[in-house]
Amino acid sequence: MSTRATRLANFPISYFAVVMGLAGITIAWEKSHSALDLPGAASKMLLVLTAAAFVAIAVMYATKLIRFRDEVVAEIQNPVKLSFFPTISISLILLSITTMNHYAGLSKTLWIIGTIAHLGFMLYIMQVWIHDPKFETGHMNPAWFIPVVGNILVPVAGVTHGYVEISWFFFSVGFLFWLVLLAIVFYRIFFHAPMPARLLPTLFILIAPPAVGFIAYLRLTSSLDPFARIMYYSALFLTLLLLTQANRFTRLEFYLSWWAYSFPMAAITIATMVMYEKTGLAFFEVASYTLLAVVSLLVIFLIIRTARAIAAGEICVEEA
In tens, the pLDDT along 195-217 reads: 888 888 999 999 999 999 999 99
pLDDT tier at 276, thresholds 50, 70, 90:
very high
Query: For the segment 20-74, what is each residue's pLDDT rounded down to a tens digit?
Result: 999 999 999 999 999 999 988 899 999 999 999 999 999 999 999 999 999 999 9
Q: What is the pLDDT of residue 319?
A: 67
Q: In this model, does residue 314 exceed pLDDT 60?
A: yes
Amino acid, res. 243: L
Q: What is the pLDDT of residue 218?
A: 97
Q: In this model, does residue 320 exceed pLDDT 60?
A: no
Compute the residue count for the chain: 320
R_g over Cα of the chain: 19
Is residue 8 a contact partner of residue 316, using CB atoms and an 8 Å limit? yes
Average pLDDT over residues 168-184: 94
Residues 6+ apart with CB under 8 A from 100: 107, 157, 160
Query: For the segment 129-159, what is each residue's pLDDT rounded down to a tens digit?
Result: 888 887 777 778 888 889 888 999 999 999 9
Q: What is the pLDDT of residue 149?
A: 84
Q: What is the pLDDT of residue 1?
A: 60
Q: What is the pLDDT of residue 316?
A: 75
| % of the chain residues with pLDDT over 90 | 73
In whole angstroms, what is the distance from residue 203 CA to residue 277 CA?
Answer: 28
Q: What is the pLDDT of residue 213?
A: 96
Q: What is the pLDDT of residue 17?
A: 94
Pick the more confident residue, 197 or 124: 124
Q: Which domains does the chain have, with CATH numbers?
A: 3-311 (1.50.10.150)
Query: For the segment 250-261, what is each residue's pLDDT rounded down to a tens digit?
Result: 888 888 889 999
Q: What is the pLDDT of residue 138?
A: 75
Is residue 234 a contact partner of residue 271, using CB atoms and an 8 Å limit? no
Query: For the segment 277-307, what is each residue's pLDDT rounded down to a tens digit?
Result: 999 999 999 999 999 999 999 999 999 999 9
Pick the more confident residue, 117 or 192: 117
